[in-house]
Amino acid sequence: MKINLAIIISVLVLSLGFFTDQPYLWIPISVLIAGIIDLLTRQWVSSDRLGSAQTFSAILKLLFSLIGFYAMVGQFVCIGLAIWWFAF
């Protein structure tokens, strides 16, 4: 498993915000959690296998792909948050 960019960016922004006592630390924390979930489930989500409970499996794949999408968008939000912390 390779660490994805969402994990790296969220950890950097989280540590930057934590040590400089900035608000809205829940944003990089949630992106970090979503990045870890995406890292652990990405291979299964991208595979064609559904298993015996196909409807439940398709719903889980949709849920995990939405979490991965949140991690992807969240890394840009984390960068914007870090810029906002020090620009304003």
Residue-range domain boundaries for the chain: 5-87
Please state the three-class secondary structure of the chain as a single string: CCCCHHHHHHHHHHHHHHHCCCCCCHHHHHHHHHHHHHHHHHHHHHCCCCCCCHHHHHHHHHHHHHHHHHHHHHHHHHHHHHHHHHHC
Average pLDDT, the chain: 95
Predicted pLDDT at 88: 85
Band the pLDDT of 28: cuts 50, 70, 90. Answer: very high
